Amino acid sequence: MPASRFWLLPAFSFVATPFALADGYKISDGDKFIKLGARIQLQYKRDDSAAGTTDDIFFRRLRARIEGSAHPNWVGKMEWEMGKAKGNNEVSVKESWMQYSGSKQFKLRIGNSSFPFSREFLTPFAKQQMVERTFVGDLNYGTPDKNTGLHLYGSSADKHISWRASTVIALVQPNDKKLRFGTPVNKPSNYNEGFMIGGRVDYHPYGYLPFSQGDFSGKFKATIGIGAYSWRNDGDQLVNDATVGADVDSVNAIEISGGYRGGNISVDWQFNRFDVETVQNISSGLYLNGKTTLRNAAIEGGYMFDKRYELVAAFQQQDADGYATPWQRRSIGINWFINHIDTKVALSWRQGKHLDGIVNNDKDELFLQAQFRI
């Protein structure tokens, strides 16, 4: 089909076949279907610190996706990011997988997908209360990115228990101030490579509570979950560059998290712990004598008015062996849901104390973000 006619597909779905507005436009014919969608987040950010004031406006996320199937029990999805184009990196691969769903007990996903760690990270960005994730879901501080390998999903028949497990190849950036994960499909050459295995179990005593924030239904629900992973450097991509920090040798992590919904109130909390060792013995940034225990904690919540406005607040803290004092952040904000989460405007103000564990290294940040999703 010529490119000029490709965008006629969503319009065609209105008159030719059933369509879904909740998460993209769908064209179907029996077991065969194709679904198209896009996600746009335009963000204005202002920073105030002792060094001065800076601001910027940019596409925080600019993503397109296509999902479909030509055979029963199999579906595939491709999603790519165009909002962070730098130099030759014009496009980065995000969710891209093939999935078998012919079993009632589990689904098997093969490809690049979200690793099952951190409730906040597994909550889609379009369904987050704050404009930016807290420490417990931040990819810069121990939470794995979307990674390439095998991903299993399952739940009990009543969905009171859900679980996920993955075995993947994952990358970690040598950086003494961050514990940043990456995905091998985008091939950052200055990252360490290794194998990672992990999983999680979530218990929902009052009915399944999905990975989302905010209380739109008003129904009482709660969840508690535990996750863990282990990553080991395979020695393929040692950087050996002291200017960026030591190569990471191993990471072992555990997460405990939970959530509550009811009466227009939502609360999410989470604690992560990462035990990290480096190849070279360094004492800077996060590390002390080539090791660190990185600890992240956060609690965030909101109150919904008429399912259109939401007042939100959060507190988060991060500590590491190499820090002189814990790094703390306090946030408040308001969300305006114009068309539920599909069209949304979010304003957040974040006060940071002792950034990177340095005493009196403070910064205030203002985020204003417009969100559109089809």
pLDDT at residue number 239 = 78
pLDDT at residue number 22 = 53
Residue 5 predicted with pLDDT over 50: no
pTM, two decimals, is 0.90
pLDDT at residue number 24 = 77
Comparing C-alpha atoms, which of 108, 118, 165, 126 is closest to residue 145? 118
pLDDT at residue number 336 = 98
Q: 274 or 29: whose pLDDT is higher?
A: 274
Place of tokens 């075995």: 167
pLDDT at residue number 11 = 37
pLDDT at residue number 327 = 98
Side chain identity at residue 108, one-letter code: L
Comparing C-alpha atoms, which of 49, 125, 5, 96 is closest to residue 369? 125
CATH numbers and ranges of domains, the chain: 1-30 (no CATH), 39-373 (2.40.160.10)
313-326 pLDDT tens trace: 999 999 999 999 99
What mean pLDDT is predicted for residues 353-366? 97
pLDDT at residue number 10 = 37
**Which of 6-20, 80-94, 265-279 is predicted most confidently?**
265-279
What is the Cα–Cα distance from 108 to 69, expressed in whole angstroms?
15
What value does the CA radius of gyration of the chain take, rounded to a whole number of Å? 21
| DSSP string computed for 282-324 | --STT-BTTEEEEEEEEEEEEEEETTTEEEEEEEEEEE-TT-S
Q: 311 or 182: whose pLDDT is higher?
A: 311
pLDDT at residue number 30 = 83
